[in-house]
Structure 1
């Protein structure tokens, strides 16, 4: 590292280290020994610094070399600079070797436990110095926060802004109908969306992608869904269906794990896709920790191709 002083005077970190060592040992010879250079080399270097600065750094008249008043000022500041430089290089080394870092990840409720709990646990076990900050929210809000820089990564519902984001496909499923076991459709193997026109719907809250996507699909089939309740938690939606409050459209993974209190039925005509992707901005700097997380995630979800 090089410092510019005054009118073009150049001093680098090695010069400062030599000055500090001469002041500490009181001898050019001893300083040369501890710095693993020859005595003429260190003497010449100190003389060069003095000539560059236009001051005398050391009083050489006695048996022990001591700093002048100006020399002591420079020694004091040199200690501060070299200490800061040491911290900087150590910090950079920690980051480069993944001993430090932070990841800010946005996860919708349906993606957190089902897809990311174990991968995050394994990543943390391998890199305990990397802090993982999780933000649970709807996919729409997560996408907005990644775009603004409030989050580094997040899981969103496709399609998304391919011109803005890189992505790894996490899940490629479809929505299914969830009903009470005594519902008239409970024994069916499949149902068409327009057959649900008279049903009461339990939906996701605003801010979640499905909050808009399901009504849009219903409108395309000629009816406005009657939403009687909204929630941000998929497990609560399942329990409300089990309480016979209404029906819900949820991803296959959630429906298969819903339990015996509800019945899951394939939704046909139209099929509503549910594709999750892990995304990050194309034009943002990626830290060492971020690059390693992306590499690791590619091994967890090898079928999901990262867009380039």
Structure 2
């Protein structure tokens, strides 16, 4: 038994005629009779009694007809909802986004996407890039913003922003007037870092070790603007992307280009190569890839 059987039986009862049911279903009358006959043989029951020109249900036929209505309503609802998903009239984009990326690059992008697809909802998961990469790997997120590099064998990506890290110090700090600073010069400083859910946490510590010292970490936070406030209060030095440093302003903290080494800050949209992607997420990836490729994202920084 399948949906076609239920549709035929329902139309025959509604229209009290095999011929009229065939017309409603855009089939021939022999085709409708064949469908009913096949179902009767499958179930080993008689569904209709032909009394002259009248078509009447048997007890078995009546049982099927009573259950057919709710089943067909559910099926119609299923088809409608699937069509809405396919044609992007509804759906959900669940995306992981680090605080810095969400604050700087995506509000205008999300607005443009929802202007085109108002029925699609967003579920933003705000985590550090390291945590987002883990969530993409285990399948709990379909797409997310990560810090490059990532495992190219596991993830598909496209670039969002190419920036570099600055050293952030209080205006009264001895390095505040310098045009540039080398990482080794920070060996005696107290560091304010993102917490260990962020890829920058491990990367900065690793670069310090490469420069010959173990950083003394005084504070950790998940919020870039709070890190800026801590630096401005003279509680330590930090490293933030140039893009975000410019949002803090020189009265709060001074941003100094970091040299030897230059630490890149390259963000990308990522998704698992073998992972499931909903229709809405597929369109989000296509839509945003085009925006960032033509520079219409939200002021991407190119260096």
Q: Which stretch shifts more, 48-57 or 179-188?
A: 48-57
Aligned residue among 207, 231, 236 for 2:221? 231
| Distance verdict in 2 for CA 1:40–1:154, change over 3 Å | closer
Contact 2:94 2:281 (C-alpha < 8 Å) held by counterparts: no
The answer as to whether partners of 2:93 and 2:122 remain within 8 angstroms in 1 is yes
Cα 1:227–1:67 change in 2 (3 A) is same
Q: Corresponding residue for 1:169?
A: 159
Contact 1:169 1:303 in 2 (8 A): no
Is 1:55 matched up with 2:49? no
User: Partner residue of 1:212?
Assistant: 202
> Paired residue for 1:186, among 176, 184, 199?
176
For 2:34 and 2:174, the matched residues in 1 are separated by 95
Which moves more between the two structures, 61-70 or 269-278? 61-70
Secondary structure of 2:212's aligned partner: coil
TM-score (norm. length: structure 1): 0.89
Q: Does 1:94 align with 2:84?
A: yes
Q: 1:123 to 1:43 in 2, by over 3 A?
A: same
Deviation of the 1:36 alpha carbon: 4.3
Shift of 1:129: 1.6
Q: Per the alignment, in what secondary structure is the counterpart of residue 111 of structure 1?
A: helix
Aligned to 2:270: 279
* Cα shift at 1:28: 2.9
Equivalent in 221, 235, 241 of residue 245 of structure 1? 235
What aligned pairs does 1:94-173 form with structure 2 within 5 A after superposition?
94-173=84-163
**DSSP-derived class of the 1:22 partner:** helix
**Structure 1 Cα separation of the partners of residues 38 and 189 of structure 2:** 88
Q: 1:35 to 1:278 in 2, by over 3 A?
A: closer
Shift, 1:275, TM fit:
1.1
Specify the SS of the correspondent of 1:83. Answer: helix
- Residue 219 of structure 1: SS of its match in structure 2? helix
Are 2:142 and 2:276, in contact at CA under 8 Å, matched by a contact in 1?
A: no
Give the deviation of 1:51 after TM superposition: 4.0
- Aligned equivalents of 2:239 and 2:23: distance in 1? 76
Q: Show structure 1 runs of 5+ residues with no match.
A: 4-11
8 Å CA contact 2:95, 2:125 repeated in 1:
yes
Distance 1:45 1:278, change over 3 A: closer
Change (3 A) 1:45 1:248: closer
Q: Which moved more, 1:159-168 or 1:198-207?
A: 198-207
Q: Which runs of 5+ in 2 are unaligned?
A: 296-303
* Aligned-residue offset at 1:30: 3.8
- Greater displacement, 25-34 / 131-140: 25-34
2:17 is equivalent to residue 20 of structure 1: no
Contact 1:165 1:282 in 2 (8 A): yes
Q: How far off its partner does 1:115 sit?
A: 0.9
Check conservation: 2:192, 2:227, Cα contact below 8 A.
yes
Whether the 8 Å CA contact 2:167–2:258 is kept in 1: the answer is yes
Distance apart, 1:15 and its partner CA: 3.1
- Number of the residue aligned with 2:301: none
User: Residue 181 of structure 1 aligns to a residue in which SS?
Assistant: coil
TM-score by length of 2: 0.90
Offset at residue 148 of structure 1 (A)? 0.6
**Distance of aligned partners of 1:44 and 1:168 in 2 relative to their CA distance in 1, 3 Å threshold:** closer
The range that moved more, 49-58 or 276-285, is 49-58
